[in-house]
């Protein structure tokens, strides 16, 4: 399936691209956001990060007319500051991060992300890392399984699912995605199984987040990315579930809020260094919702560093 970038135009508008400045696409994917950014650059530069080497190679075809303006970095965006400084960049004018897993990753059965295909449990965005979904499912003790299903999947039956996984692997290892789906289904009451939506969705989400350290990486790019912004720089982040959005919202609120003494004269009130431009998140239009089912849970939030 083709990957369609969610809230693409809203993200590009949010970046307020200036043609001679430096931008980062922290989640290159298949190049949708990068193409729209680089088309607006003249003497400017775009740095593209991705943990998936296959994504980098495939996106080069999409971006082939603009490669002279782009630097590709194979790595986790949680290392954004270190990686940029290694190539002589100490500040940027915009950062784009689309936290959704790309459709090609979900739709490639061999990657083991999806509960729709039978494949070895994997879910690694960076296939050079050792930890995979197989390791989580087959080696994590009950308490750790319960923790990640409850926290990362917000799964109300986390305890029951973790117990069933623990019991099944005493008989044999759980090797494939559909084997895991069967275990999950066996832990759920019939009234849940009859509801709309796949019963394994939240468990698969939780395991994927654990395998890829997604929430820890998000907290790091927020911390480092905000520090990297030049005056008038923008930070645009697209999230796809409530855990991510809560982290982004809290961090953007924190850096854009000043706590000042109540009795300070109005004329002496300082202004926060950052402006949280989207306290109410931008969501997909009705047209986009009709065309792209991935957009239903998407929220775009934007932070701006004020000019000096």
Share of the chain above pLDDT 70, in %: 94
Structural domains in the chain plus CATH codes: 8-104+214-305 (3.40.50.150), 118-212 (1.10.150.170)
C-alpha distances (whole Å) from 244 to each of 148, 203, 299 are 15, 16, 10
Q: Can you give the pTM of this predicted structure?
A: 0.91
127 pLDDT higher than 90: no
Residue listed under structure tokens 């080069």:
60
Angle 116-3-65 from CA coordinates, rounded to 5°: 150
Closest alpha carbon to 63 in 41, 93, 84, 92 = 41
CA 202 to chain centre: 16
Q: What do you get for the CA distance between the two ends of the chain, in Å?
A: 45
φ/ψ of residue 3, rounded to 5? -85, 120
Let me know if 222 is exposed, middle or buried by CB neighbors in 10 A (0-12, 13-18, 19+).
buried
In tens, the pLDDT along 249-308 reads 999 999 999 876 666 665 666 789 999 999 999 999 989 988 888 788 999 999 999 997
Record the tokens describing residue 293, joined without a space. Answer: 């089912």
As a whole number, mean pLDDT of residues 86-113 equals 87
Residue 176, SS3 per DSSP: strand
Which stretches of 117-200 are DSSP H helices?
A: 133-139, 142-151, 158-171, 177-187, 190-193
At residue 1, the pLDDT reads 43
pLDDT digits (tens, 9 = 90+) for 23-68: 999 999 989 999 999 999 999 999 999 998 989 999 999 999 999 9
């Amino acid at each position: 399936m083709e990957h369609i970038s969610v809230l693409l135009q809203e993200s590009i508008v949010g970046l307020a691209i200036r043609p001679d400045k430096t931008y980062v696409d922290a989640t290159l994917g298949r190049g949708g956001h990068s193409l729209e950014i680089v088309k607006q650059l003249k003497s400017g530069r775009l740095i593209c990060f991705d943990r998936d080497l296959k994504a980098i190679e495939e996106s080069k075809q999409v971006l082939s007319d603009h490669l002279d303006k782009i630097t590709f970095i194979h790595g986790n965006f949680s290392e954004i500051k270190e990686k940029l400084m290694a190539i002589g960049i100490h500040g940027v004018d915009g950062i784009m991060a689309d936290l959704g897993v790309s459709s090609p990753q979900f739709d490639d059965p061999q990657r083991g992300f999806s509960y729709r295909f039978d494949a070895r449990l994997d879910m690694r965005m960076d296939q050079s890392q050792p930890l995979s979904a197989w390791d989580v499912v087959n080696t994590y003790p009950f308490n750790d399984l319960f923790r990640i299903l409850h926290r990362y999947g917000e799964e109300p039956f986390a305890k029951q699912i973790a117990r069933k996984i623990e019991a099944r692997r005493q008989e044999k290892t759980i090797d494939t995605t559909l084997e895991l789906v069967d275990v999950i289904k066996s832990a759920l009451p019939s009234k849940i199984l009859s509801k709309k939506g796949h019963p394994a969705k939240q468990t698969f989400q939780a395991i994927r987040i654990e395998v890829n350290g997604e929430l820890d990486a998000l907290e790091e790019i927020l911390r480092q990315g905000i520090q990297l912004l030049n005056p008038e720089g923008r930070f645009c982040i697209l999230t796809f579930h409530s855990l991510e959005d809560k982290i982004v919202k809290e961090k953007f609120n924190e850096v854009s809020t000043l706590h000042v003494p109540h009795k300070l004269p109005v004329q002496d009130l300082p202004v926060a260094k950052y402006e949280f431009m989207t306290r109410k998140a931008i969501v997909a239009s009705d047209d986009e919702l009709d065309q792209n089912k991935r957009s239903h849970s998407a929220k775009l939030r934007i932070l701006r560093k004020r000019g000096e």
